[in-house]
Amino acid sequence: MSYFMESLAQLFGREPARPAPEEIAPEVQEIHRYKKKHKITLAELEAERQANREKGETSRWLKRRWAVLITVNLLFVVSYYFDVQLLEGALTASRFVGFHMADLNSALQVMLAFKHVVLNLIIGTVTVFVIWLLLGGRTFCSWVCPYHLLSEWGEKLHLWLLSKKVIKGYSFHRGVRTLFYVTFLVLTYATGYTIYEAISPTGILSRALIYGPGAALLWVGFLLLFEVFISRRAWCRYVCPIGMTYGMAGSLSPLRVVYSPDACLFGGDCRTVCLVPHVLDATIMGHARDTAVPIGADCTRCGMCVDICPASAMKFDIKGLSKVV
């Protein structure tokens, strides 16, 4: 199966499968044989990790991402309070210096609710589609979505509670997200109401930041508590249709994270920090098919694997161009 089809299958919930020996390029098989024979010691791995920390590269993309996410959401707030007409509206639908933009998932719901293509949404939808087609994956989630940031902080607390054995974390099959996706679309079409928008923490938080808090924030608080005490990043991993919509839109993007098994030390640091660790299945010894493996459509392009990798085996890349560092 091609990387593209495998990428979409994983987006819809399929678990990654270890490739058969004949599916692995001879060069990669040689790399795996060599690395199995010359195993790196824990001391050597820790030395590489320490060198990476000393170079200040363990949070480079994290800082950039948080800065962009906070700036984008603050632009809405500043534009509203000071009436500068820079970035008006909210993440659901907005206008940047007079140019209309519409969230892809919200636009899809509106069209299903009205049961026809709403012409006023076309320009804004196409604009946003092109942006995320170029940026790729679920970039919107980790670089723009305000709930993602809160969920990220909640995840840190969840992992700390797990380490102290205060809680027991639960996980679910990722395919349930596809079920929710279809359910929201069917309900929207059947009822004529944009069902998901009423419960979307992304939209609720965006509007609360701009226009002031409301009772709907109680729902967001409940979701965060569920993620802290029950299931790590449950909403983003198992329910939210926004990520799936943007993942499909960005599946053909030239911008991606690329994994190089030749450089890999196989310490597993990347999978430990990854927000969607199944996309990094190729980083397990014997799972990479080629000497350069593009990470799939469910990747949020957060850059945490790029930051943490002590051997720079993970890098941002623009297809056909040089590496982005």
pLDDT class of 155 with cuts at 50, 70, 90: very high
Q: What is the pLDDT of residue 220?
A: 97
| Percentage of the chain modeled with pLDDT above 90 | 54
The Cα-based distances of 294 to 118, 301, 310, 323 in angstroms read: 36, 12, 19, 13
Q: What is the pLDDT of residues 279-323, one digit of tens each?
A: 999 999 889 999 999 998 999 999 999 999 988 899 999 887 755
Q: What is the pLDDT of residue 323?
A: 52
Residues 6+ apart with CB under 8 A from 8: 248, 251, 296, 297
Every domain of the chain and the residues it spans: 3-61+252-324, 69-248
Residue found by looking up tokens 């993440």 in the block: 91
pLDDT above 70 for 1? no
pLDDT above 70 for 28? yes
Q: What is the pLDDT of residue 211?
A: 93
The mean of the pLDDT values for the chain is 89
Q: What is the pLDDT of residue 252?
A: 84
Amino acid found at 132: W
Length of the chain: 325
| pTM as predicted | 0.89
How far is it, in rounded angstroms, from Cα 75 to Cα 52? 34
